[in-house]
Structure 1
Amino acid sequence: MKIQSTRERLLASSMICGMAFLGLSATAASAAAAADANGDVAEIVVTGTRLPSPNLTSIAPVTTVGNAEIKAEGVTRIEDITNSLPQVFAGQGSSITNGSNGTATVNLRDLGSSRTLVLIDGLRLMAGDPQSARSSAADLNFIPSALVERIDVLTGGASATYGADAVAGVVNFIMLKNFEGVRLDAQYSGYQHDNNNSTGQAALTAAAKTAILPSLDAIPGNQFGGEGSEVSLVIGANAPDGKGNVTAYATYRQNNSILEGTRDFSACTLASTAAGFGCSGSGTAYPARVGSFLVDPTTFNTFRPRVATDVFNFGPANYFMRPDERYNLGAFAHYEIAPWADVYMNTMFMDDLSTAQIAAGGIFAATFSVNCANPFLTAQEKGLLIPTAATGGGTCATNPAGIFTGTISRRLLDAEQTGRLTQFRHQDYRIVIGMKGDLGKNWNYDGYMQYGTVVVNNRQSGNFDTTRINQSLNAVTGPNGTPICNPAGNPDAGCVPANIFSSALISPAAINFLSINSFNSGSSTERVVSLAFTGKLGDYGLKSAWASEGVGVALGAEYRREHLDNVADFLSTNGLVNGNGGAAPPVNGSFDVYELFGEARVPLISDMPFAKDVSLELGYRFSDYSSIGDTNTY
């Protein structure tokens, strides 16, 4: 058997895709792994169908990545392998920090991770995160790379075989289940960059001349970071009579972070301009933005008109790659009690802790109010700031009782806050119990029960409380002549007024008062019960006169129940975490689905002149959802 290189395999995959859309049959790379050393077929597992294939073919385009190729890549994350395939678009992963949910997902053909079904040995993997709009997508972190025998990627729609969430395709992880002995693996990796990117360096040089906050990061020179290490232990033993096996594993993975500020192509937030790419950023600027004005950083405490280039370079403080630490434990066991009863059980566990960091928080662009008598406003600023019409008009200089209400924002600096951190903690559990076997010469069955659950606890720090922002901006002169929070506004105990009307740093006491930690937690649970029969009907006379094989069928039924529960603290529930999007009300719900499915392979012509293989493949799935009713897929 010839082992293809990665490049040869990907090219072959592209060719198979083209042939499949023409309706021709292409050899499935996944089935090749089923041959033993003598060339005999010991077990046939073809992703995309429940029917065994006597000629190791499938009309679906299947790409296979083997265990040797995974090791050769030298990576500690499964996502790095799947993302290298041409049919995979980047989903959630370690390189996402702003908008991350702490998982790693796969997105086939850019149709969305929730439309890509992830399987382990042909069985569904539960949803990876209950707190995301992409909650139906599986978490690849759950899969230990040391136990992966191969990865089958099916890019054709497979909803009739696996269900509605396989519209984009299927990624099937075939696990090592018959290992005997002890294997200890360790690996170390990292990422190197020489910071000699011409576009990035040119943008940084230009920005240093004009930007309010030029980036001092990503100076030319070698940069190495994102070190990752993984240690895995696999122990396996066969039964004395050779009818069963137990394979257990334990893995530990640790990866360090990479800051965007260490790479010249990300040290400033690039945007397209008429002259090419230049540094840009967020409209939540430093110094403060008040309405159409910006605090002039060159004069310390005066307003000037805000222009489009008054932006905040948020890039350097963001993680280019998140740090994480992960533990995986599990075991795969099976034993043949009789030819008709081969029992099996799989147990898997993961504990994963990952941290996302994005640029420092502050007061994000929103509508807030400032009283004209605020002692932090200078005479020049009061002369330009116009109160709302409801408070008398004029300027704050002529109407000290007035109130300005409008867009106010002020980003914090690294000296004031190191950044906003979100810690993601995922604990995943999965157990499968099943039995399969032969029912005579032409029929076999496979039935199993599966339970999977994900428990998530997240902690976010570095944000401001929206209610307290309004309290801190509403300052008056206290009895001893120092600014205090306006007592008429009933501020929280310990309220400290914030001076955002100069380019000076906000006092630590004010930042402590404004800063909050927010928490959310949740869980998702999946239960599956399935029973399927496959049969060969050639012995019953259902066979074409021009074909060597008879009709093959697969019939089955499946029940699945999904439950989700998600809660957050008071601040998040009521949308009071400034700059963190809308409210996150609690969610608790479930659905179940009863399904019937069937497949048929009808060989019409085989090994004839001008026709090596002409066959008809059919698939149908009926689903009855408790939430939306009946659906039909074929």
Structure 2
Amino acid sequence: MHFKYSGAFLALATILAIPLAGHAQESNQATELERIQVTGSRIRQSELEGQNPVQVLDRDYIDRSGMSSIGDLLQSITASGSALNTRFNSSGNFGFPPDGGGVGAGASTVDLRHLGTQRVLVLVDGLRWVNESSASGVGGVVDLNTIPMAIVDRIEVLEDGASSIYGSDAIAGVVNIITKRAQDGASLSSRYGQFTRGDGEQSQIELSFGGESGRHSYFIAASFFDQKAVASNRRDQSSLPYPGTGNALGSAAIPAGLIDFIDPNSGQRQLLFPIGLNPGYDGSLSGCERSDQFSCFSNDDRFNYANYNLLQTPNKRSSLFAQQHYQLTDSTSWYMRGLYNQRKSTNQAAAEPFFIGTAVPTNFWADTLTIAADNPYNPFGFDLVAGGDDPNLLMLAYRPLEGGARRFEQTVDTFYLATGLSGDFSRGDRWFNWDINAAYSTNRASQLNFGSYNARRMATGLGPLANCEAEAGCVPLNVFGPGALTPEMLAYIQPVVRDNSENTLNLFSANLTGDLLSLPAGELAFATGWEYRKYRGNYRPDSLTVAGEYNGVVSSPTSGSYDVQEVYAELSIPLLRDLSLAEQLDLSLASRFSDYSTFGSEITSKAGVRWQLSSELLLRGSWAEGFRAPNIGELFGSASGFDAVLDDPCSEPSDASIQANCSALGVPASYVQPNPQIGVITGGNRELQPESSTSHNLGFVYSPEFASQTSWSERMDISMSWYRHQLKGAIQALDAQTQLNLCVQSLSNDFCGGIQRNALGAIDNFSNTLTNIGKIDTSGVDFDVSWLQPATDIGQLSVNWRTTMMNYHRVFDANNERQPRTVGVEVNNSGIPRFSSNLNLAFGNDSIQASWTLRYLSELTESCGRAASFAVCRNNPEEGQNRLGSVVYHDLQLSWQTEALLNGLQLTVGLNNLFGKEPPICLSCTLNGYDPSNYEMPGSRFWYLQTRLQF
């Protein structure tokens, strides 16, 4: 079932054409069932509240949020954890993750319960959506930017494990995006907004139309979204790599070129940089009292790379969606839906540095090259040799600003086509519902990388002149002095790197639900079904990268596939009915058998209780087994290298025991880490086994009679849910910094086995591949209050308050060593707040609606790391720690609508982050001085104007 894009467009065009024929059909519309299917159960039910805690984000909620993407919307709910969004300027900065999924540049994802994006299942209309491909790997999560907001009717978020209902990936929960099935007439909406700083413009236009006629209904929508970039140097907080520390913690790769070498004539070690082009070198000088054209290096000379990053990445999305439903008979209907979505996005990083020499191992060519004495730009008059038995070139760190910033431009095309039949039938006095479905979806990404370099050509251009003259197009290179590379030199060593990747999903399913038999307390309902899925993915890096000549990350192609067949059964068993303290008591049971071509079979089960004590009080609880199968990137991801920012404990250790351990590792006592970037090799593991989990959920829903249909309250609902997820055999790599620290502390081969050092003490190999690491144990409480005031002549007030409290979050490796990620701590560009809370007040009538939303995050702490001696490190709550204070964001929206123009006009104006709350300074965050997964970016007061016209 593999469609080429030409066939895909033809299929989508067919869907678009169907509504025109549909108006000619006339028949009686099928009677709509009172029971509906709610995320978390395949059994149709009529109860408003089931056994599972489901948060429903309806269209009013979506519109009130003022957000223009599903990803931003989901990341704002209190159960959300750290996930990618367009505030992450990932390409060129974060490198390749171990899961083989690539950097996810330009994507937006969702995390629930801080268990990771790969442990959330994303459905669209109850069917799985294709995983993203980032053009740098084979992703294992859904990019929410492939689903336009214009087609969304509501979003149901199941905050409980559901592997027995939906299969793999549903450990932390399920996000089910329900699309619009029909619309009366046409609608045109537009939106424009920008930050009050005058940047970050967003423009959006959506056109949709639909209708219903007899047996036929349809909906068609086209949308375009354009988000502009915001450069990091536009905000003071993010214009420094570590805010408040100046260049002291910047990069050693500087525009002038920092060189650490041993003069073979004098035997003296020098750490110098040229103060101009074509510098003269006096070998008789030593130390920093110099009269030649070189200067000694200090922290003040480090390069501030953050000025060249992006705070908000540009993102353009165009989409076309259509779906139709046709009633074939009184009991059978046919649907077909299709989508095409294209995203164009860009990430940017500072000019790519050259790290050459034995002290800063990066790749073969840079580690072993020679800057020859006969190179016309070599100011020293002798060979500078890296690698070998007797190197004298320890480090050359050159930042060629003349080559421009690194820009990574992605084009991502997503195509989705689904069709199926559904219907009902009776046996005696019992009715049954059935459906069969087939879906094909693909996500194809290509990326152009501008501003990177060919390391082999660098070695040739810097090496002996005869070698350069023997290669066509070669010109000798100059890396001594700012702006040393001429356009001719850049043309020789600066390629355009082209990478591609693709993910494809084929899906077939069949489901049956209904009532089996009558019990004293009611009908015993069931659901059962079968599903088949075929996953295929590949990543094709540029041939330069495959050959190992790319100066940046090193990566090899990835290709893999697997399929799975599953059957499931679910029962809803009524136990008691219409008794004292048991108005209704139901037991639910579910089990799913999954057979994977990669590792074998798995059975997961779930049990839940729904106890309606009275019309006011509902108690519910569940226990669920879960699992997550390793995806293509995790299984087949090729070995890839990236530069991680790490602090080597063996660099000038102050502790005597650490110094002794470093000596045992072969590190000289005088070793000083020249650059915080250390090459790390990651990759997949075909021996991985599925993760397994156990989830518990216990809570209540209280709807007091005293607050129902009274003069002051139309309805009040109070709910609470306690949850716990225990995950075993978690698929991930050890935190690289933690692994390095534990290696030095313990000298255990469990941690040191993948870390190798050269004769100078520098780490020249760091293996950080995936494994079934250990366990994750997390627990928390959700608390919700909603209140609706009776309608008055002037309007109606509603209040919705939702709070999540994290009790604990513990991560352990295979040796039962505690990992650093936990509640209240910021680590690896993400943090887990103890409390997160959203409060919304809305007031409106038929003409005017007003909304005020407050979003709260409690404080975090982080290690100050290398910034511990700087004033910006608060040393709070203890020495060497920095406190990230709590924040409250205020969002306002005012909307006016009238029926006087065509079929209706609505005007909306909003202001998010009303008081311009700045994010707390984060010293450990890799870029831009704050955590973009939790906080709005600096200077982020954002206004918008939206219009919607119906006709």
Question: Which band: TM-score by shorter chain?
Answer: 0.7 to 0.9
User: Do the aligned partners of 1:177 and 1:246 also contact (CA within 8 Å) in 2?
Assistant: yes
SS of residue matched to 2:188: strand
Indicate whether 1:360 and 2:351 are aligned.
Answer: yes
Task: Find the aligned partners of 1:491 and 1:554 in 2 and give their Cα distance.
Answer: 73
Task: Find the aligned partners of 1:388 and 1:444 in 2 and give their Cα distance.
Answer: 72
Task: Find the aligned partners of 1:375 and 1:471 in 2 and give their Cα distance.
Answer: 13
Task: Find the aligned partners of 1:134 and 1:266 in 2 and give their Cα distance.
Answer: 31
Residue of 46, 56, 70 corresponding to 1:54 = 46
Cα displacement string for residues 2-41 of structure 1 (whole angstroms, at most 9, x for unaligned residues): xxxxxxxxxxxxxxxxxxxxxxxxxxxxxxxxxxxxxx98
- The letter of the residue matching 2:550 is V
Q: CA RMSD in A?
A: 2.6
User: Do the aligned partners of 2:354 and 2:397 also contact (CA within 8 Å) in 1?
Assistant: yes
Residue of 387, 409, 425 corresponding to 2:411 = 425
Relative to 1, partners in 2 of residues 1:374 and 1:332: Cα closer, same or farther, differing over 3 Å? same
- The letter of the residue matching 1:596 is V
- The letter of the residue matching 1:330 is F
Cα displacement string for residues 244-288 of structure 1 (whole angstroms, at most 9, x for unaligned residues): 201111111111111111011111111697xxx986323433331
Residue of 512, 537, 552 corresponding to 1:564 = 537
Task: Find the aligned partners of 1:256 and 1:88 in 2 and give their Cα distance.
Answer: 25
Q: Please state how far the C-alpha of 1:87 moved relative to its aligned partner.
A: 1.5
- Alignment map for 1:75-224 (pairs within 5 Å): 75-99=67-91, 100-129=104-133, 131-132=135-136, 135-192=139-196, 223-224=197-198
Task: Compare 551-560 and 606-615 and name the one that shifted more.
Answer: 606-615
Q: TM-score, normalised by structure 2?
A: 0.53
User: Do the aligned partners of 2:247 and 2:302 also contact (CA within 8 Å) in 1?
Assistant: no
Task: Find the aligned partners of 1:224 and 1:410 in 2 and give their Cα distance.
Answer: 35
Specify the alignment match of 1:350 in structure 2: 341
- Alignment map for 1:92-491 (pairs within 5 Å): 92-99=84-91, 100-129=104-133, 131-132=135-136, 135-192=139-196, 223-239=197-213, 241=214, 243-270=215-242, 280-291=249-260, 294-296=271-273, 301=279, 302-303=293-294, 306-307=297-298, 310-364=301-355, 366=362, 367=367, 368-379=369-380, 404-413=392-401, 416-440=402-426, 441-474=430-463, 486-488=465-467
Task: Compare 64-73 and 138-147 and name the one that shifted more.
Answer: 64-73
Task: Compare 224-233 and 304-313 and name the one that shifted more.
Answer: 304-313
SS of residue matched to 2:403: coil
- The letter of the residue matching 1:624 is D
- The letter of the residue matching 2:505 is E
Q: Please state how far the C-alpha of 1:332 moved relative to its aligned partner.
A: 1.2
Task: Find the aligned partners of 2:332 and 2:587 in 1 and give their Cα distance.
Answer: 32
Q: Please state how far the C-alpha of 1:109 moved relative to its aligned partner.
A: 2.1
User: Do the aligned partners of 1:330 and 1:347 also contact (CA within 8 Å) in 2?
Assistant: yes
Q: Please state how far the C-alpha of 1:133 moved relative to its aligned partner.
A: 5.1
Q: Please state how far the C-alpha of 1:568 moved relative to its aligned partner.
A: 2.7
Q: Please state how far the C-alpha of 1:49 moved relative to its aligned partner.
A: 1.1
Specify the alignment match of 1:578 in structure 2: 551
Specify the alignment match of 1:74 in structure 2: 66
Relative to 1, partners in 2 of residues 1:560 and 1:346: Cα closer, same or farther, differing over 3 Å? same
Residue of 475, 483, 492 corresponding to 1:513 = 492
Identity rate of aligned residues, in percent? 28
User: Do the aligned partners of 2:89 and 2:309 also contact (CA within 8 Å) in 1?
Assistant: yes
- The letter of the residue matching 2:163 is S
Indicate whether 1:45 and 2:11 are aligned.
Answer: no
User: Do the aligned partners of 1:248 and 1:332 also contact (CA within 8 Å) in 2?
Assistant: yes
User: Do the aligned partners of 1:45 and 1:52 also contact (CA within 8 Å) in 2?
Assistant: yes
Task: Find the aligned partners of 1:423 and 1:496 in 2 and give their Cα distance.
Answer: 29
Cα displacement string for residues 382-425 of structure 1 (whole angstroms, at most 9, x for unaligned residues): 6xx9757968x7xxxxxxxxx74433221122xx1331111111
Specify the alignment match of 1:35 in structure 2: none
Relative to 1, partners in 2 of residues 1:406 and 1:490: Cα closer, same or farther, differing over 3 Å? farther
Q: Please state how far the C-alpha of 1:54 moved relative to its aligned partner.
A: 2.7
Task: Find the aligned partners of 2:538 and 2:81 in 1 and give their Cα distance.
Answer: 29
Relative to 1, partners in 2 of residues 1:601 and 1:278: Cα closer, same or farther, differing over 3 Å? farther
Indicate whether 1:535 and 2:522 are aligned.
Answer: no
User: Do the aligned partners of 1:272 and 1:278 also contact (CA within 8 Å) in 2?
Assistant: no
SS of residue matched to 1:282: coil
Unpaired runs of 5+ in structure 1? 1-39, 193-222, 394-402, 476-485
Task: Find the aligned partners of 1:604 and 1:65 in 2 and give their Cα distance.
Answer: 32
Specify the alignment match of 2:572 in structure 1: 601
- The letter of the residue matching 1:434 is G
SS of residue matched to 1:442: strand
Task: Find the aligned partners of 1:569 and 1:298 in 2 and give their Cα distance.
Answer: 37
Relative to 1, partners in 2 of residues 1:445 and 1:369: Cα closer, same or farther, differing over 3 Å? same
Task: Find the aligned partners of 1:387 and 1:452 in 2 and give their Cα distance.
Answer: 52
User: Do the aligned partners of 2:376 and 2:476 also contact (CA within 8 Å) in 1?
Assistant: no
Relative to 1, partners in 2 of residues 1:327 and 1:488: Cα closer, same or farther, differing over 3 Å? closer
Residue of 470, 475, 488 corresponding to 1:496 = 475
SS of residue matched to 2:130: coil
Task: Find the aligned partners of 2:470 and 2:73 in 1 and give their Cα distance.
Answer: 53
SS of residue matched to 1:71: helix
Specify the alignment match of 1:615 in structure 2: 586
User: Do the aligned partners of 1:369 and 1:406 also contact (CA within 8 Å) in 2?
Assistant: no
User: Do the aligned partners of 1:113 and 1:134 also contact (CA within 8 Å) in 2?
Assistant: no
User: Do the aligned partners of 2:255 and 2:483 also contact (CA within 8 Å) in 1?
Assistant: no
SS of residue matched to 1:458: strand
Relative to 1, partners in 2 of residues 1:504 and 1:534: Cα closer, same or farther, differing over 3 Å? closer
- The letter of the residue matching 1:296 is F
SS of residue matched to 1:352: strand
Q: Please state how far the C-alpha of 1:132 moved relative to its aligned partner.
A: 4.9
- The letter of the residue matching 1:149 is D
User: Do the aligned partners of 1:437 and 1:445 also contact (CA within 8 Å) in 2?
Assistant: yes
> How many correspondences in the alignment?
527
Task: Find the aligned partners of 1:619 and 1:133 in 2 and give their Cα distance.
Answer: 35
Q: TM-score, normalised by structure 1?
A: 0.78
- The letter of the residue matching 1:453 is T
Residue of 600, 611, 621 corresponding to 1:629 = 600
Q: Please state how far the C-alpha of 1:502 moved relative to its aligned partner.
A: 2.7
SS of residue matched to 2:307: coil
Cα displacement string for residues 271-316 of structure 1 (whole angstroms, at most 9, x for unaligned residues): 697xxx9863234333313236554365774555555565321112
SS of residue matched to 2:514: strand
Specify the alignment match of 2:524 in structure 1: 551
Cα displacement string for residues 137-186 of structure 1 (whole angstroms, at most 9, x for unaligned residues): 11212212122111111121111111111112111111110212000010
- The letter of the residue matching 1:245 is S
User: Do the aligned partners of 1:622 and 1:632 also contact (CA within 8 Å) in 2?
Assistant: yes
SS of residue matched to 2:71: helix
Task: Find the aligned partners of 1:71 and 1:181 in 2 and give their Cα distance.
Answer: 20
SS of residue matched to 2:340: strand
Specify the alignment match of 1:31 in structure 2: none
User: Do the aligned partners of 2:237 and 2:243 also contact (CA within 8 Å) in 1?
Assistant: no
